Amino acid sequence: SAMRDSRIKKTKTVCTYCGVGCSFDVWTKGREILKVEPQVEAPANGISTCIKGKFGWDFVNSEERLTKPLIREGDSFREAEWDEALNLMAKKFTEIKNEYGPDSLGFITSSKCTNEESYLMQKLARSVIGTNNVDNCSRYCQTPATVGLFRTVGHGGDAGSIKDIAMADLVLIIGSNTAEAHPVLATRVKRAQKLNGQKLIVADLREHEMADRADMFVRPKAGSDLVWISAVTKYIIDQGWADEEFINNKVNGLSEYVDSLEGFTLEYAEKTTGLSKETLIEIATRIHEAKSVCALWAMGVTQHLGGSDTSTAISNLLLITGNYGRPGTGAYPLRGHNNVQGAGDFGSAPDSLPGYQKVYDDAARQKFEQAWGTKLPAEPGINNHDMVEGMHDGTLKALYVKGEEMGLVDSNINHVQAGYEKLDFFVVQDVFFSRTAQFADIVLPASPSFEKEGTFTNTERRIQRLYQVFDPAGDSKPDWQILIEVANRLGAGWTYEHPSEIMAEAASLMPIYSGVSYERLEGYNSLQWPVQPDGTDSPVLYLDGFPFPDGKARLHPVKWSIPVQFGEEYDIHVNNGRLLEHFHEGNLTYKSEGITSKTPGTFLEVSPELAEDRGLKDGTLVRLTSPYGNLKVRCVVTDRVQGKEVYLPMNDQGDAAINLLTSSYADKDTDTPAYKETKAKLEILQSD
């Protein structure tokens, strides 16, 4: 349409909130955001967005934006010019590396930043400093799902596209508050249910919107998902319902896997999960009778001691029933942040180079050594969970955190924050002065997605370009530019002038991205990895087998981990998760008037039974105390939760921050915190 005011412009961008990856045009006039306009050609969302994508942008123009580098002086900070801050940073990094070795430094990138920025962060750690101590916040959410898929089917990503989910006969949602956490994706399921008669089974502790809509809603005991999933799979095998042709042709490891299922009888599952035998048989029967099944899961599965194993169990169930390699089938771990998938793809993990190539694989490492012209460390580094222990035991001396509110979103934050106090040198780079920044020696002002170019990879492995809407505010800079300046002060000699050059280099080193280029991603064009050199992409995975040497998937034996045990006085199980309106800890959404005006403060959902038993009413102020800390919050009585199960949204930034309660226990395979295994005692502070 004709632009009557020449200052009015329209820019295509990709949502910076959740992993659905909605894209849309943003209409602006100067720095004013006029409207967000989704387009039919937007591959993940078409003409839909949720409240965050529609109204969640005025944080970009917030008065509270960081616009200057800050340097600590005693208990406060002073503004500084870039040169001074970056020179100091280079000097300290060099001193610490020389005195204590490269592994005394740690690097954390964010799954909110672009692919190109994650690539540069890990390249800085590995090739400039010489350490594999690099990680990102998918450690806090989806790494267990990635591990479960690598073990069984070979690619750590969703099996198909979001639109394929709508083609399934039956959708299984486990531990995912999909309607609030991935709203536009949930809409597809709701529509398929209405129009195509798709069936929906939901397993969760809390009766959220998708549970209300489900054909079957089951509430297994907290932390027992692996047991019911494995019992259902065993029952399917015992009934002779396994897809023998699929297994014979495409799957290895059946007999060892079947041996591991021996203990998962219906009787055992009934006792352990609280689901009746009849319920388990009904689930098995529904899965057996469906022609195609998709399984969706999120933090309710992954944030446990056995998060990787439960993710594995889900994938095993899909393999046994032949539900991979066709549209409408397969595993869909729902990625949280916009770029959880991309941060992992681009090697921000202590054991993986970009493209999931292992640091200890000599051929892979040498390929990167040759391309980067440096020697690279072959031993895996430490992840962000171990970095906290490293701060406490004195082995980690310096930390560089880019775009992650680790001091609020990691578990057991009293412990994390005490660790920061022990660091010799701490740099935080972010859009706002975060809780984590309070502990820093240097704070660098970064630009959010509206102020830079780059790419994000959404939950369906879809790579999309974002274009720059505004100039960076004040003296802030895009993270990729800051990283180049840091690296070059340490002698790297990087010459990238645009993110497209970073992508070109990365794509030449990552087989799953080999055909990716900015030209192929122009406008609303997108690609789903793996992308062949000629640009052919892969909306549905495993059509021609699985990416293992013999082309066959692998059933992986399962073992259940008993959830974290607490003393008897901690009798309240504190479940936690998102709210529709706020994103995670809310650092961006609380700065957005369009959102804060529509949401109440944080509240604790308590069941009518617990309310009756303890004398709680709407508005009662209570204190929850775990062995790790305590918090204060007001109650709301609701039958969404039952018994001694309570639910606390995770977006509070003050007295009710959930991670004041959570422990340092973690998934045994990935160190993802067991956020969902949190117990507390409850006392009334004030009832009115």
| In the complex, least distance from residue 22 CB atom to ligand SF4, rounded to whole angstroms | 3
**What are the Cα distances from residue 157, in Å, to 268, 512, 560?**
32, 12, 24
Q: Which residue number, 18 or 222, has a Cβ lying nearer to ligand SF4?
A: 18
Q: Which residue number, 230 or 449, has a Cβ lying nearer to ligand SF4?
A: 449
Q: Which residue number, 336 or 390, has a Cβ lying nearer to ligand SF4?
A: 336
| In the complex, least distance from residue 457 CB atom to ligand SF4, rounded to whole angstroms | 13
State the amino acid at position 69 in one-letter form: P
Q: Which residue number, 208 or 489, has a Cβ lying nearer to ligand SF4?
A: 208
Q: Which residue number, 22 or 200, has a Cβ lying nearer to ligand SF4?
A: 22
| In the complex, least distance from residue 21 CB atom to ligand SF4, rounded to whole angstroms | 6
Give the DSSP letter string of 321-349: TT-SSSTT-EEEE---BTTHHHHHHTT-B
| In the complex, least distance from residue 279 CB atom to ligand SF4, rounded to whole angstroms | 32
| In the complex, least distance from residue 46 CB atom to ligand SF4, rounded to whole angstroms | 11
Angle at 83 between CA 80 and CA 85, to 5 degrees: 50
* Residue (of 243, 238, 229) closest to 304 by Cα position: 229
Q: Which residue number, 36 or 502, has a Cβ lying nearer to ligand SF4?
A: 36
Q: Which residue number, 50 or 203, has a Cβ lying nearer to ligand SF4?
A: 50
| In the complex, least distance from residue 26 CB atom to ligand SF4, rounded to whole angstroms | 12
Query: For residues 111 and 336, what is the distance between their CA atoms, to the nearest angstrom?
Result: 9
Q: Which residue number, 71 or 463, has a Cβ lying nearer to ligand SF4?
A: 463
Query: For residues 274 and 231, what is the distance between their CA atoms, to the nearest angstrom?
Result: 13
The whole-angstrom distance between residue 222's C-alpha and the CA centroid of its chain comes to: 21
Give the DSSP letter string of 589-637: GGG-HHHHTT----EEEE-HHHHHHHT--TT-EEEEEETTEEEEEEEEE
What are the structure tokens assigned to 253, written together?
């490891």
Query: For residues 639 and 647, what is the distance between their CA atoms, to the nearest angstrom?
Result: 11
Query: For residues 358 and 381, what is the distance between their CA atoms, to the nearest angstrom?
Result: 12
3-state secondary structure (DSSP) of residue 677: coil
Answer yes or no: are the C-beta atoms of 105 and 93 closer than 8 Å.
yes
Q: Which residue number, 50 or 646, has a Cβ lying nearer to ligand SF4?
A: 50
Q: Which residue number, 39 or 532, has a Cβ lying nearer to ligand SF4?
A: 39
Query: For residues 232 and 187, what is the distance between their CA atoms, to the nearest angstrom?
Result: 28
The dihedrals phi and psi of 640, each to the nearest 5 degrees, come to -65, -30
Q: Which residue number, 20 or 231, has a Cβ lying nearer to ligand SF4?
A: 20
State the amino acid at position 119 in one-letter form: Y
| In the complex, least distance from residue 579 CB atom to ligand SF4, rounded to whole angstroms | 12
| In the complex, least distance from residue 582 CB atom to ligand SF4, rounded to whole angstroms | 11
3-state secondary structure (DSSP) of residue 363: helix
Residue 95, beta-bridge partner list: none
Query: For residues 375 and 364, what is the distance between their CA atoms, to the nearest angstrom?
Result: 13
| In the complex, least distance from residue 49 CB atom to ligand SF4, rounded to whole angstroms | 4
What are the structure tokens assigned to 156, written together?
């750590």
| In the complex, least distance from residue 187 CB atom to ligand SF4, rounded to whole angstroms | 9
Interface residues with ligand SF4 (CB under 6 A) are 15, 17-18, 20-22, 45, 49-50, 52-53, 183-184
Q: Which residue number, 135 or 460, has a Cβ lying nearer to ligand SF4?
A: 460
| In the complex, least distance from residue 577 CB atom to ligand SF4, rounded to whole angstroms | 15
* Residue (of 587, 596, 589) closest to 66 by Cα position: 587
Helices (H), 274-333: 277-289, 299-302, 307-320
The whole-angstrom distance between residue 337's C-alpha and the CA centroid of its chain comes to: 5
**What are the Cα distances from residue 490, in Å, to 64, 340, 477, 484, 494?**
31, 28, 19, 10, 10
Q: Which residue number, 184 or 428, has a Cβ lying nearer to ligand SF4?
A: 184
| In the complex, least distance from residue 292 CB atom to ligand SF4, rounded to whole angstroms | 24
End-to-end CA distance of the chain: 56
Answer yes or no: are the C-beta atoms of 43 and 179 closer than 8 Å.
no
Cβ-closest position to ligand SF4: 53
In this structure, is the dihedral angle defined by the CA atoms of residues 648, 386, 401 and 112, taken in order, positive or negative?
A: negative
| In the complex, least distance from residue 107 CB atom to ligand SF4, rounded to whole angstroms | 27
